[in-house]
Chain A
Amino acid sequence: MAGPVWVHGELGPDGTLARIATETATAARDIADRAGTEAIGIVVAADPSGAAEELARFLPRVLAVTEPVSGARTAAAVAAERIAALARRDGIGYLVTGAGPEGRDVAGIAGALLDLPLLANAIALGSRGDGPTVDESAFGGKQLTTSSFTKSKGVITVRPNAVDAVPLDIPGRVEPADLDEPLALPVVTVVDRVSAEAAAQSIEEARVIVAGGRGVGGPDGFELLRELADALGGVVGATRAAVDAGWIPYAVQIGQTGKIVKPQLYLAMGISGAIQHKVGMQTAGAIVAVNRDPDAPIAEFADVLVVGDQAAVGRALLAALRDRSA
């Protein structure tokens, strides 16, 4: 039998299970079923039990690794080293992680420790024979590829919103898996953790993004976008021009050298759709743009383009959304 499919039980900033872990777990179950092997989750934390129970709603078996030093060291390094140790002990077919900063760090470190090939940023998974295939998007969606592993093993990082998380009918079991061996990777100390205001949701995981560009006109203009995002259950994003102007932090920049996102709805306010921005969002489910210029590049790839002043249309849209939910 092939080695197990391991799932990194990524934790959010508050220590609960990150939503991406429920998506990677669902993907891993499919890979394991086709390969005739087992999908196993790993949660590494000072107190892993809560997140492990949550992950077990999606996986038949979850290992809870209690790691007292987690918190003092970077979470990704500690998790990657423990995943590598368990994979050496029990074998490995595949390791599945998220494609956000945490998942990438775990994939890079564990992949190096285990000498595994890697396919990154899966936007969909399939199969050929008993092995997985991974669909990736090249150059922000200009081309799509389907790739596979030549030796039936490897690491897969999965984009948020690529897989719909499906819980098991009957939750799996959580087992403690404490490891005695000391951590050996060079120590990087976490001196402090700082949460930005109003950053409850990661932009990469958001299902709705209301993004603003130069056309928003200034930091005050983003207030309306925040209200629209609240009304739609989403978060605010921005173009590089708006970030460079200092209207909004870099953390929410979408595009080349910023975040690559795939929400179900992308509402683009005062965004021209230059190539550097387009590569970060063009695979969104639905794109609605509001722009004064009917010939802006975004007209070529939006599903709906409202030609008009983004503030005036934004206010009218906010009123219409509030009327609807009233």
Chain B
Amino acid sequence: MRIVVLSKPVPDPASGQERLTPDGRVDRGAAPAVINGNDEYALEAALKLAEARPDEEHEITLVAMSPESGRDAIRKGLAMGAHRAVMVIDPALGGSDWLATVRVLEAVLRTLEYDLVLAGADTSDGVAGVVGAAVATRVGLPYLSYAATIEPSDGRVRVNRLTATGHEVLEAPTPALITCTQALGAPRYPSLKGIMAARSKEIEVRSLADLGIDPATVGAEAAGTTVDEVRPPAERGATRVIRDEPEEAARQVVAFLAERRLI
């Protein structure tokens, strides 16, 4: 199987250092880049699908639009077991809006061959959760979202899609685009062997010119949205600490809830 995994380098949420610059862009210098959490579940799902079919040939390709600073994160994805990567790196992409991201990913997908495209259901830095749907729509792929399971067979794929109160069983012909959740299973750590192997795997870098996209149509100048203000959140009041026995503590909690009109 040929599987493309859309993999976004994001500031590491575990660092606690993620922040926006005053003009509302992700501050790439504030925290080291890692592959977005939900994209790692997508990659893990791709690796498991390949491992479950030992008699077939497989190629797992990571696709990322990212500044140069995302390269180490992508290299880690190769160490986990992806075969190759395509990174779109171009200074003109700084400050792009979501439509520019969608156009770039669409343009890359049009140059690749694949049975499935997997992506995280959302990202920890943007959290909009809309890019997968839009890329599928533009490329003309069936779109199956919020996957908890992925079962391909005979030119079709079946997905359990998580909903607010349960799940839907969806089915579509391949190639198809599927957005992935943590329910697919925890990503593996790269093995030492994987890390060594990743050193010789290819990261193909493409520019906007390579994709036939006019730089004037992307980036901050062309964006349809603008961040007007970045501010810290309102301070929460001091924490009221209750150290009494359970019954007395419960009485005080009920009083607090009543005071806030929550009960």
List the interface of chain A (C-beta within 8 A of B): 12-13, 74, 76-77, 99-102, 104-105, 107-109, 111-113, 115-121, 128, 133, 137-139, 141-151, 153-154, 157, 185-196, 199-205, 208, 232, 240, 244, 250-251, 253, 256-258, 260, 264-265, 275-276, 279, 283, 285-288, 294, 299-309, 312-313, 315-317, 319-321, 324
Task: Give Cα A300 to B225, complex, Å.
Answer: 34
Residue pair B256, A304 in contact (C-beta under 8 Å): yes
Task: Give Cα A77 to B144, complex, Å.
Answer: 10
List the interface of chain B (C-beta within 8 A of A): 13-14, 16, 18-20, 24, 37-38, 41, 97-99, 102, 121-122, 124-138, 140-146, 148, 158, 161-173, 176, 181-183, 186, 223-233, 236-237, 239-243, 245-247, 249-254, 256-257, 260, 262-263
The number of inter-chain residue pairs (CB within 8 angstroms) is 299
Instruction: Please give me the 10 A-B residue pairs with the lowest Cβ-Cβ distance, nearest first.
Output: A117-B224, A108-B133, A120-B128, A202-B164, A108-B130, A112-B134, A316-B250, A316-B246, A112-B137, A199-B165
Residues of A within 8 A of B176 (CB): 186, 188
Q: Name B38's contact: one of A105, A107, A137, A257 (CB within 8 Å).
A: A257
Q: Name A200's contact: one of B165, B172, B242 (CB within 8 Å).
A: B165
Residue pair A147, B226 in contact (C-beta under 8 Å): yes
Residues of A within 8 A of B137 (CB): 108-109, 112-113, 185
Residue pair A143, B224 in contact (C-beta under 8 Å): no
SS class, residues of chain A in contact with chain B: mixed
Q: Name B242's contact: one of A193, A300, A305 (CB within 8 Å).
A: A305
Known: A101-B164, A138-B20, A188-B143. A148 touches B236 (CB 8 A): no
Residue pair B165, A306 in contact (C-beta under 8 Å): no
Residues of A within 8 A of B231 (CB): 143-145
CB distance from A106 to the nearest CB of B (A): 8
Residue pair A302, B164 in contact (C-beta under 8 Å): no
Residue pair A148, B181 in contact (C-beta under 8 Å): no
A109-B137, A143-B20, A283-B233 given; 13 more Cβ-contact pairs under 8 Å: A108-B129, A109-B133, A112-B133, A112-B137, A118-B128, A138-B20, A139-B19, A193-B166, A200-B165, A294-B243, A304-B256, A308-B246, A313-B249
Residues of B within 8 A of A196 (CB): 165-167
By beta carbon, the residue of chain A nearest B257 is A265
Task: Give Cα A208 to B257, complex, Å.
Answer: 11
Residue pair B97, A190 in contact (C-beta under 8 Å): no
Residue pair B263, A232 in contact (C-beta under 8 Å): yes
Residue pair A139, B18 in contact (C-beta under 8 Å): yes
By beta carbon, the residue of chain B nearest A203 is B164
Q: Name B247's contact: one of A195, A204, A316 (CB within 8 Å).
A: A316
Q: Name A112's contact: one of B102, B171, B236 (CB within 8 Å).
A: B102
CB distance from A218 to the nearest CB of B (A): 20
Residues of B within 8 A of A139 (CB): 13, 18-20, 124-125
Task: Give Cα A147 to B77, complex, Å.
Answer: 33
Task: Give Cα A260 to B121, complex, Å.
Answer: 13
Task: Give Cα A283 to B236, complex, Å.
Answer: 10
Task: Give Cα A101 to B162, complex, Å.
Answer: 9
Residue pair A13, B182 in contact (C-beta under 8 Å): no
Residues of A within 8 A of B134 (CB): 108-109, 111-112
Residue pair B164, A120 in contact (C-beta under 8 Å): no
Task: Give Cα A40 to B3, complex, Å.
Answer: 41
Known: A147-B225, A307-B241. A188 touches B170 (CB 8 A): yes
Known: A154-B224, A185-B137, A186-B140. A307 touches B243 (CB 8 A): yes
6 contacts between A and B (CB under 8 A): A101-B146, A112-B135, A116-B99, A303-B237, A304-B239, A320-B254
Residues of A within 8 A of B232 (CB): 143-144
Residue pair A250, B140 in contact (C-beta under 8 Å): no
Residues of A within 8 A of B99 (CB): 111, 115-118
CB distance from B117 to the nearest CB of A (A): 13
Residue pair B18, A250 in contact (C-beta under 8 Å): no
By beta carbon, the residue of chain B nearest A318 is B250
Residue pair B233, A141 in contact (C-beta under 8 Å): yes
Residues of B within 8 A of A111 (CB): 98-99, 130, 134
Task: Give Cα A275 to B37, complex, Å.
Answer: 14
